[in-house]
Amino acid sequence: MAGGKETPRQKMIGMMYLVLTALLALNVSKEVISAFVTINDKLDASSKIIDNKIEDDHAAFNMKKMTLLANKSDLTTFNLWNNKADSLKALSNETVSFLLSECNSMIEASEGKKWVSDKAFDASGNIMYLEPLKDINSKDNYDIPTRMFVGGNPKQPNERGLNVRLQIHNYRDRVLKAMANYTEANSIWSFTPPDNVNGLTEALKSANPKDTVKLAQFYKSLTIPEMLYDDGEQQDLPWSSVTFNHAPIVAAAAMFTSFKVDIKNAQAMATEFMLAKIEEAPYYINKIEPMAMAAKGYINQGDSLQLNVLIAAYDSTESNIIRYGMDEDTIPERWKETQGPFSLSGASAGLHKVKGVIGVKERGKIAWKPWEFDYTVGQPTGIVSLPQMRILYRGFKNEVEGTASGFPNESISLQGNGCRIVREGGKWIALPNSGVRNATISVIARRDDGSSINVGTYSFDVKPLPDPELYLGSIKNGQTVSRGTAVAQTRTSTRYDNSVNLTGVNFPILGGTISASGLMLKGKILPGGGIDENARKVLQQSSGKQVMVTVKYETPDLITKEKGILFTVR
């Protein structure tokens, strides 16, 4: 498939195609069989390069649309050719999928399994690539390609083999009609692809004269002769017989890959043709980034802020000229000129306004686009808060928080004097040193340039943790309860009641005793707070008696203490 002016890549593909066809006529050795695998890999690599070119052209469609919208131009012509390019992409994928599906069926008949992975399908279910040929076991099997695409008589090949050529020609004709049939400046252009190249000149007379060279080139690039000369048979035979008859399976698979490359190369030619029909110089864009924008950069507590999150598309290789002024210098006569990012002064507190223009190239000329920005400079202040209490407890992980106006949380850290500050689970924990009665905590804020500033230092009293209350189940010191309530209790605990605003403090029980007035029997409290069988008997015999519970427990700073309660059973 060749004709017209060819690119270096097309010439390379054409040479591979000729080499491939020539090798099929030989009684190939294993070394030559392996060469087909290499040729197939090179063709696949060429296909990926062409795919990148196609994607670049589709991106260029979007850039041209942005230019048209920015200039408030009519989109009729753009929509026509953009829709044609989208349809072309879908048709190309369908045709490639047909070719690879035939190749997959051929390899599956030899290997007993499909040669396409689940990842090889696009969103529409089209096959985009096959697994590597190097993994085929029966690389030299020539019976299956012959049987599937030729049959028993090379002079009259079967319909399946002939259909491969028919599908490629059908793709060629549909794409040519999309390229050539349109209306422009009250002129209606059309083109009906001829059955063979002999009728091409006559068929092109109804097409736009500006298009005929490219249309002819496209037609010839995808036109397959009906008959080819077969060196082995010394006669002309149908194309499918010369291509597939007695071809090793890897050679036939490489041929299908070459057809895929022909389709992708034709798609690239047609996409470029359609893109050129939109005569609008695009904005040059090579980078797209998300951008968050707000009308102001500072709010007070209780206020809300409206945030716009947009996509910014720009050319990172172009350094745009920026002219701007700040506060009393926002009039154009006082503007400064710069390129790229620049710093805004934070020397004085309060609201500041920046106003200016940026130079953007449109049709080769610089157009000045206005912009403005407001920001507020605040006086940094810091606050330390202790959510549970305003004191620090020894032996306890005191959770503290630090904030500083004008600084994000990730730029804030805490430093302690008389206490150690650690970070646990995203929270700041203060651990007082032993023997101190007072500790201070400072809020340190980190500036954008990496330097740090102390925005506040606060003092805290250091005290031991309050003693917990002892409970037998739900019974506490001084209560009067029924015998049924006493008997129902099965364990003791040491904990804070609602009068102490501390959470997460544990006082594990090490052991203890339970006794009742007038009873010789004593029960034991086990480590962890449970009671033994004698303790249950004491409670069962406690009617009209006073019950005493005594335990030893451990504080968070590993000090052992004693606690007891006395209650009356009716």
Read off the DSSP letter of residue 340.
S
The burial of 167, by beta-carbon neighbours within 10 Å (0-12 exposed, 13-18 middle, 19 or more buried), is given as: middle
Question: How are beta strands 438-446 and 382-385 bridged, if at all?
Answer: unpaired
> pLDDT (tens digit, 9 = 90+) per residue, 57-99?
998 898 888 878 877 888 999 999 999 999 999 999 999 999 9
Which of 391, 398, 415, 389 minimizes the C-alpha distance to 557? 398
- Record: fold of 382-463: Immunoglobulin-like (2.60.40)
Beta-carbon count within 10 A of 348 CB: 8
Where does the pLDDT of residue 513 fall: very low under 50, low under 70, confident under 90, or very high at 90 and above? very high
Phi and psi torsions of 435, nearest 5° = 90, -10
391: which strand partners? Answer: 461
CA–CA separation, 365 vs 278, rounded Å?
20
The token pair at 390 is 């305003």
pLDDT at 439 over 90: yes
Which of 368, 371, 436, 423 minimizes the C-alpha distance to 397? 423
Q: What is the mean pLDDT of residues 314-328?
A: 79
CA–CA separation, 276 vs 267, rounded Å?
14
Which of 22, 250, 245 minimizes the C-alpha distance to 130? 250
Beta-carbon count within 10 A of 362 CB: 14
The token pair at 94 is 């369908």
Where are the domains positioned within the chain?
8-276, 287-377, 382-463, 469-569
- Identify whether the C-beta of residue 441 lies closer than 8 Å to the C-beta of residue 433: no
> pLDDT (tens digit, 9 = 90+) per residue, 33-64?
888 899 999 999 999 999 999 999 998 898 88
Domain 469-569 falls under CATH 2.60.40: yes
The token pair at 321 is 């000229």
Secondary structure, 3-state, 219-258:
HHHCCCCCEEEECCCCEEEEHHHHHHCCCCHHHHHHHHHH
Question: In terms of pTM, does the model score above 0.85?
Answer: no
Asked if domains 382-463 and 469-569 share a fold, the reply is yes
